[in-house]
Structure 1
């Protein structure tokens, strides 16, 4: 939790974690329905509606009609949203690099060696087919 909290403090913009995560999901997976986004991000549909409305207000996302079914509304990331994600990643990477440079070389090497495993762990968490242990526990 301490590492997660510390990395959150490196947030280079006023964007909430849910809004930033929603933009990253749209970048990675393409246009999605509000209900899908709410499920992916673990929030209610009304909460996701508010997030998307703020993203639209800031020109970071846009609602569009599904070409396959004009009744369905999709949320899509805009060029400005993509630019913001790139900027956030660049700033955060610079801050993390500066912090890593302050560590003992052995500690920095250990973190670097752990990155592939941490990426694999993140992939498991974001995979829709993988349930978390609490979801598998008997009720």
Structure 2
């Protein structure tokens, strides 16, 4: 597939830099990246089995089990029986866990809003026009 009008290597570099910056924007509820990723995954996708979380987070079953155990102890997730299979459990985010995800998102929006204010109108418009294509890339991956 030709990429004459898009330098995919440049896109990759810019996105890597942006994602690193974006992940670090929130100044509240500092938790490890993997711990936050588990909370965000559960908030976005709903209850999951540990095996699904392991695959989603790309870490070992042992690591996910430890993270979920700590999050459960902190009241941020809970384990419930899987209604479709009584032998399995589903991990679900609690209201306290969802509040962390929402609070971090709100904090990130505030930081990003200040950064975007430093862009020209043309730069803001270019980003706005790119949003549908970036959203489509994420859909193609899922």
SS for the counterpart of 1:76 is strand
In structure 2, the residue matched to 1:81 is 97
Say how many residue pairs are matched: 126
In structure 1, the residue matched to 2:65 is 49
> 1:110 is matched with which residue: 118, 126, 137?
126
Q: Is the 8 Å Cα contact of residues 26 and 111 (structure 2) preserved in structure 1?
A: no
Larger mean CA deviation between 3-12 and 80-89 belongs to 3-12
Instruction: Measure, in 1, the Cα distance between the counterparts of 2:36 and 2:138.
Output: 16
Instruction: Measure, in 2, the Cα distance between the counterparts of 1:122 and 1:17.
Output: 20
SS for the counterpart of 1:91 is helix
Larger mean CA deviation between 84-93 and 51-60 belongs to 51-60
Shift of 1:38: 0.6
Following TM superposition, where does structure 1 have runs of at least 4 consecutive aligned residues deviating by more than 4 angstroms?
none
In structure 1, the residue matched to 2:3 is none
Shift of 1:31: 1.2
> 2:114 is matched with which residue: 88, 98, 114?
98
Instruction: Measure, in 2, the Cα distance between the counterparts of 1:49 and 1:11.
Output: 26
In structure 2, the residue matched to 1:28 is 44
Instruction: Measure, in 2, the Cα distance between the counterparts of 1:61 and 1:124.
Output: 29
Shift of 1:28: 2.4
* Structure 2 residues without counterparts, runs of 5 or longer: 1-15
In structure 1, the residue matched to 2:25 is 10
Larger mean CA deviation between 12-21 and 35-44 belongs to 12-21
1:18-76 deviations in Å (ceiling 9; x for gaps): 22222222122221110111101111111111221221122110111112322212111
TM-score by length of 1: 0.82
RMSD: 1.5
